[in-house]
A and B are shown apart, each in its own frame.
Chain A
């Protein structure tokens, strides 16, 4: 078999392998992006962008058993970039209320709105740290790996983020 034919067959296998991995992880990906970004349309865009970036970098992944962590890191970076752009070009977010389900578990609407406002005040890195720690329930070490920073940095970001969220809940002014 010529070298080119061998390469073509390997390329086809690679495409199929990637498609299978993404099909398995897409729901989790979309949901994580939605929680970080706060609305479905942004989550769709971010998830698609992350998939495109992951496909282009897939050849560099030597151990596909680490795909989930590897891809989650790409998704975190995409979401972080989107949050940064959103911070530079603030747009009144009218979609947050629409994204909440009808069967809202919050009895105190004020608490929910307070958290909405306080979360918007977090830096992108702080917001993502909170989501990875308290929703994905990653250990501090795993959060550090996903975000490419030391555990100490994760702790300091978490401390600052939780302090802001707590001030938001208690009604104190959230100062960035």
Chain B
């Protein structure tokens, strides 16, 4: 393009400038952070139905209906008594900003907001993350970074910490390590493995294994050169820990392939016992992710269609994921009415558990990733409007309104039977 044409384009772009924001927009925007949270299903929050034609002669009919309703309610209550509690019991561990210092720390809370406590110290330049429950729900393992540099978490000093829930005390098992992206218990819970680097650092990848009794650390360089920067994510390719038996390894969250015009991002999510895997993939620019179930023993696979990041049930018998749906209707134009789907391992038959309202936008960005509660009775996720839980058997849902909107990496405490 010639310089005079470039000047023309610039002038033309300037001519499209609408000027400063109008007053009504400024007022609406100022109200956004202070407005009350809207109803979970705005399309259903309409005015009550009025029956102006109701009159005395219908009273006997109403009484009969009320009696029937009471009987049904009593039978339902009896059924619900036999069901597991909902939301499931147990404390929730999550990371959230600590306002006093600007740091990020770990807090605990019951699902109803009771028993809330901040586990991390109120201390500047400290970042606690990746809380992981022991199987008996008594101990939290987590990673700590101190001495953060000004630009994020690429620098700093890493520590491995155990927190005793009953006594409220922490024990720093090992320190002086590199800052971590992920940390996980070994199956025997006598060791923990972590991966360096944190997001966006693009350096070599290191796997560390810590003996939780002695604090001894063994490190291995997994990828000696700077790890690949993903073209589709500004934070780069992230690495996480995977235990296969008692052997730990570092695996990338996803691989990105360039087909010359677009990029395809692929992630494999193995079952806990490794017998199968779900391949999750999306291609720019459309970014509607698709799922494929793979039998690792035979190599056979089956396409499951479009869906968000899935999660294996604790017993590996099923996966849960959000399937893209359609418009949520004229009263909720900013939402899509998606579906929570359970697919049973083996047959991969699917059933829709419940409808889920998801903010409209690029699917790979907004379809939430799910987690299962340790008892396998419910799935939960975090989105911009908070924490949501759905009973996979009944479809009953709950919004955990007492947890902070800014919470992340929420982990449900196992309650041994």
Interface residues of A (CB under 8 A from B): 2-4, 6-7, 9-11, 13-16, 18-19, 22-23, 26-27, 29-31, 34-35, 38-40, 43-44, 47-49, 51-53, 55-60, 62-63, 77-78, 81, 99-101, 104-106, 111-112, 115, 125, 130-131, 134-135, 145, 148-150, 153, 162, 165-166, 169
Residues on B with C-beta less than 8 A from A26 are 21, 25-26, 29
Q: Which of A4, A51, A131 is the one whose CB lies under 8 Å from B29?
A: A51
Alpha-carbon distance between A99 and B23 when the two chains are bound, in angstroms: 17
A162 to B237: give the CA distance in the assembly, Å.
Answer: 32
Q: Does B330 contact A (CB under 8 A)?
A: no
Please tell me the size bucket of the interface on B.
35 or more
Chain B residues in the interface with A (C-beta under 8 A): 1, 5-6, 8-22, 24-26, 28-30, 32-34, 96-100, 104, 107, 109, 113, 116-118, 151-152, 231-234, 284-285, 334, 359-362, 365, 383-385, 402, 404-408
**Is A56's CB under 8 angstroms from B384's CB?**
yes
Partner of B5, one of A9, A34, A166: A166
User: Within 8 Å CB of A49, what residues of B?
Assistant: 334
Q: Is B1's CB under 8 angstroms from A35's CB?
A: no
Our pick among B15, B29, B117, B232 for the contact of A112 (Cβ within 8 Å) is B15
Inter-subunit contact B29/A53 (CB<8 Å): no
Taking CB atoms, residues of chain A closer than 8 Å to B104 are: 62
Contact A19 B34, CB 8 Å, known A53-B361, A99-B16, A134-B10: yes
A-B pairs with lowest CB-CB distance, top 6: A59-B406, A56-B384, A3-B116, A10-B99, A34-B18, A30-B21
User: Can you sample 6 A-B contacts with CB below 8 Å?
Assistant: A40-B18, A56-B384, A59-B408, A134-B9, A145-B234, A148-B234
Contact of B33 among A27, A38, A55, A130 (CB under 8 A): A55
| CB atoms of B116 and A4 under 8 A apart | yes
Given contacts A4-B113, A77-B362, contact A51 B32 (CB under 8 A): yes
Q: How far is the CA of A38 from the CA of B15 in the complex (A)?
A: 10
Kindly provide the distance from the CB of B175 to the nearest chain A CB, expressed in whole angstroms: 22
The answer on a CB contact under 8 Å between A22 and B404 is no
Q: Is there contact, CB below 8 Å, between A11 and B30?
A: no
Q: Which chain A residues border B17 with CB–CB below 8 Å? A: 31, 34-35
- B15 and A30 contact, CB distance less than 8 A: no
Of the candidates B12, B233, B404, the one whose C-beta lies within 8 Å of that of A7 is B404
Q: Are B113 and A111 in contact (CB under 8 A)?
A: no
Contact residues in A for B334 (Cβ distance below 8 Å): 49, 52
- A125 close to B285 (CB less than 8 A): yes
B32 to chain A, nearest CB (A): 5
Please indicate the chain B residues that have their CB under 8 angstroms from the CB of A7 in the complex.
Answer: 116, 404
Residue contact A105 to B8, C-beta cutoff 8 Å: no
B30 and A23 within 8 A (CB): yes
Q: Are A34 and B16 closer than 8 Å at their CB atoms?
A: yes
